[in-house]
């Protein structure tokens, strides 16, 4: 998702607290240029884990699709064979545009925005699952996305740029059997037909059972035309060491590049020359070419931005605390990747997507920010940007696993809404259907037919008394997520046995398992929302079994009562 530069807010803490409580925008709408809009544009965190850095030998990537207004629906696209000479229509697909449900579903209506281009179709296209982007195909190629921006002169919103990012990820899902092939598919098509239109600088984590690559692509300016004979995009990819982990928090991650080392680097032919032509790099300077410093520089550190760009520091500190990464380290100086202190499980990675920087200098509960019930969302428009900031449309954790047929080895875990109050649900690469409830719904129309609304429904009731209600959610997560993760090896074994006899039977088994599990989880979250409404109604604690309530619970902490009294004294008029 797109992002803008953060601007550190000034003023004293006291003034910020007072203003946060007393000032609002007319009608509750965010004003143009407000911090709400700036922070809403700083979105999407990608975590990457190499096969030798995971406990089960899988490669893993995550995508926190932070937006707050975007489409959250998911589809499965079946594999297909195509006749010789057939073509593939190219559409412009905005990451952000949605339509009212009364008009139809996004993944039908987007076809109204034909880019005016048809490209040669391939003989066979792979099956895949997609949300706002393609996420996993039936060859275990996985994708995660984070917008990184680029130098302004590189942007190309003109019709000459036929391909935007969503379209490129769908094409990669259809055509690539490995991460390296996905890089070549995206890179070559963007060079030939032009990249940009809706999008600018973007990062994709491209993975398969063997490798994880960081791929970054950018437009080449609004004057580009196909007739120029020059590439219509500039891109570079760097492979992460197998025993390392990394992160992309909306910042370019590729630094110095060695294109002679083809096992670790790939790039478009203009990777360096474009920077020279545009004045972003002077080869006479004596300095080595640095991709991110040339095309997408990000100044500042966690400390200098008051946590505005602290996700880089936070992830590396979580993954490798022994290295004692400093808050003052400029983000541009962080390593490309690092060997973690311990190998990470899929549950570890899920927990990282829920991280709120508790216990750090950027703790969202510091002082009285969280209110009486320690709600990390109360002050979330005037505080540091954390990994789980509550605006996620959905979050994915992909696993690509060697030693299995692709249909069984690949899993994309999906959770809807804010990670802290949601539940990850697995979908194997070989499933032939996603739940119908995943394909419907939007932010402006409540619907009990939409899976996403089940999680928002629970999330809404958690906000009222967060410190208490989040315990109920975590108990549910332990059952519907934690216990399921423990069952996955057995599901793998059953699917593998069926696959060896007849692949179609394995697909049927996995599809049934995933659909049934998702239905169970969605139903559980609807009920959880109902239960929270009853249990904490009117800020009392209602015991449904004993049919009584405790007027003293959930207790308002004494420190909050003191803060209220202190505020009253502060606001009293002078008595003279």
Give the E-state strand segments of 417-547 in sequence order.
425-428, 541-543
Asked if the peptide bond before residue 554 counts as cis, ω within 30 degrees of 0, the response is yes
Domain boundaries, the chain: 43-530
**Region 399-420 average pLDDT:** 98
pLDDT recorded at residue 339: 98
Per-residue pLDDT at 369 exceeds 50: yes
Q: Are 115 and 162 in contact (CB under 8 A)?
A: yes
335/317 Cα distance (integer angstroms): 12
319-344 confidence digits (pLDDT tens): 999 999 999 999 999 999 999 999 99
The DSSP symbol for 482 reads I
DSSP character at residue 415: E
Biggest CA-to-CA distance, the chain: 91
Q: Mean pLDDT over residues 208-215, rounded?
A: 98
What pLDDT, on a 0 to 100 scale, did the predictor assign at position 379? Answer: 80
Please write the tens of the pLDDT for every residue from 432-441: 999 999 999 9
Mean pLDDT confidence for 244-254:
98
Q: Residue holding tokens 């300077």? A: 285
Return the closest-CA partner of residue 209 out of 489, 411, 426, 346: 411
d(CA 21, CA 463): 17
* 445 bridge partner residues: 442
CATH fold of 43-530 reads Penicillin V Acylase; Chain A (3.60.60)
pLDDT of residue 268: 98
Per-residue pLDDT reduced to its tens digit, 479-504: 999 999 999 999 999 999 999 999 99
In 153-210, which ranges are continuous DSSP H helix? 165-175, 179-193
Q: What is the DSSP letter of 31?
A: P
Q: Does residue 121 sit in helix, strand or coil?
A: coil
Higher pLDDT: 541 or 404? It is 404
Are the C-beta atoms of residues 195 and 233 closer than 8 Å to each other? Answer: yes
CA distance 236 to 272: 10
Computed on alpha carbons and rounded to an integer, the radius of gyration of the chain in Å comes to 24
Predicted confidence band of residue 390 (pLDDT cuts 50, 70, 90): confident
pLDDT digits (tens, 9 = 90+) for 141-196: 999 999 999 999 999 999 999 999 999 999 999 999 999 999 999 999 999 999 99
H/E element, 125: strand 124-125
| Arithmetic mean of pLDDT over the chain | 91
pLDDT band at 382; cut points 50, 70, 90: low
pLDDT in tens, 457-482: 999 999 999 999 999 999 999 999 99
Interval 551-571 mean pLDDT: 88
Give kind and range of the element (H or E) at residue 77: strand 75-77
Q: For the chain, how far is it from start to end, CA to CA, in angstroms? A: 56
Omega of the bond leading into 236 within 30 degrees of 0 (cis): no
Can you give the pLDDT at residue 147? Answer: 96
Give the residue from 96, 94, 204, 208 showing the smallest Cα distance to 146: 204
pLDDT reported for residue 576: 53
Instruction: Say what percent of the chain tops pLDDT 90.
Output: 83
* Measured distance CA(56)–CA(63) in Å, rounded: 20
Say what the pLDDT of residue 9 is.
29
How confident is residue 387, by pLDDT bands cut at 50, 70 and 90? Answer: very high
Mean pLDDT is lowest, of 62-66, 471-475, 506-510, 568-572, for: 568-572
pLDDT of residue 549: 87
């Amino acid at each position: 998702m797109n992002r803008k530069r953060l601007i550190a807010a000034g003023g004293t803490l006291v003034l910020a607290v007072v203003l946060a409580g007393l000032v609002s925008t007319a009608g509750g709408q965010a004003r143009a240029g407000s911090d709400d809009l700036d922070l809403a544009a700083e979105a999407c965190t990608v975590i990457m884990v190499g096969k030798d850095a995971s406990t089960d030998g899988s490669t893993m990537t995550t995508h926190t699709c932070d937006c707050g207004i975007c489409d959250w629906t998911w589809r499965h696209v079946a594999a297909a064979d195509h006749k010789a000479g057939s073509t593939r229509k190219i559409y412009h697909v905005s990451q952000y545009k949605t339509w009212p449900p009364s008009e139809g579903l996004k993944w039908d209506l987007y076809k109204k925005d034909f880019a005016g281009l048809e490209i040669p179709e391939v003989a066979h296209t792979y099956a895949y699952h997609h949300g706002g982007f393609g996420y996993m195909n039936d060859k275990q190629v996985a994708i995660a996305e984070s917008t990184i921006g680029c130098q302004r002169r590189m942007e190309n919103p003109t019709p000459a740029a036929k391909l935007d990012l969503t379209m490129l990820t769908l094409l990669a899902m259809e055509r690539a059997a490995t991460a390296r092939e996905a890089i070549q598919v995206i890179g070559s098509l963007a060079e030939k037909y032009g990249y940009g239109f809706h999008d600018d600088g973007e990062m994709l984590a491209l993975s398969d059972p063997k490798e994880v690559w960081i791929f970054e692509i950018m437009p080449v300016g609004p004057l580009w035309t196909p007739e120029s004979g020059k590439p219509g995009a500039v891109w570079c990819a760097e492979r992460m060491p197998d025993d390392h982990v990394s992160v992309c928090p909306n910042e370019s991650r590729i630094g110095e590049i060695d294109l002679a080392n083809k096992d670790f680097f790939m790039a478009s032919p203009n990777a360096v020359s474009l920077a020279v032509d545009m004045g972003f790099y002077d080869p006479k300077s004596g300095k080595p070419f640095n991709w991110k410093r040339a095309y997408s520089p990000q100044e500042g550190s966690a400390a200098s931005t008051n946590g505005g760009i602290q996700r880089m520091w936070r992830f590396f500190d979580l993954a490798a605390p022994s290295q004692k990464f400093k808050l003052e380290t400029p983000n541009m100086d962080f390593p490309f990747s690092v060997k973690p202190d311990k190998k990470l499980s899929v549950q570890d990675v899920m927990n990282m997507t829920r991280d709120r920087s508790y216990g750090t200098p950027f703790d969202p509960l510091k002082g009285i920010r969280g209110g009486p019930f320690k709600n990390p969302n109360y002050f979330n428009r005037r505080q540091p940007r954390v990994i789980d900031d509550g605006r996620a449309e959905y979050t994915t954790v992909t696993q690509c696993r060697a030693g299995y047929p692709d249909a069984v080895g690949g899993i994309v875990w999906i959770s809807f809404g804010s990670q802290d109050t949601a539940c990850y649900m697995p979908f194997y690469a070989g499933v032939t259907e996603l739940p119908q409830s995943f394909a419907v719904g939007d932010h402006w129309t409540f619907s009990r037919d939409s899976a996403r609304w089940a999680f928002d429904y629970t999330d809404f009731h958690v906000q009222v008394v967060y410190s208490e209600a989040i315990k109920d959610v975590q108990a549910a997560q332990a059952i519907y997520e934690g216990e399921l993760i423990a069952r996955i090896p057995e599901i793998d074994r059953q699917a593998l046995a069926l696959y060896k006899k007849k692949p179609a039977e394995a697909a049927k088994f996995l599809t049934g398992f995933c659909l049934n599990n998702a239905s169970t989880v969605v139903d559980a979250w609807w009920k959880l929302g109902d239960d929270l409404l009853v249990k904490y109604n009117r800020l009392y604690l209602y015991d449904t079994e004993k049919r009584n309530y405790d007027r003293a619970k959930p207790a308002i902490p004494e420190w909050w009562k003191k803060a209220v009294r202190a505020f009253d004294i502060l606001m009293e008029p002078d008595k003279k």
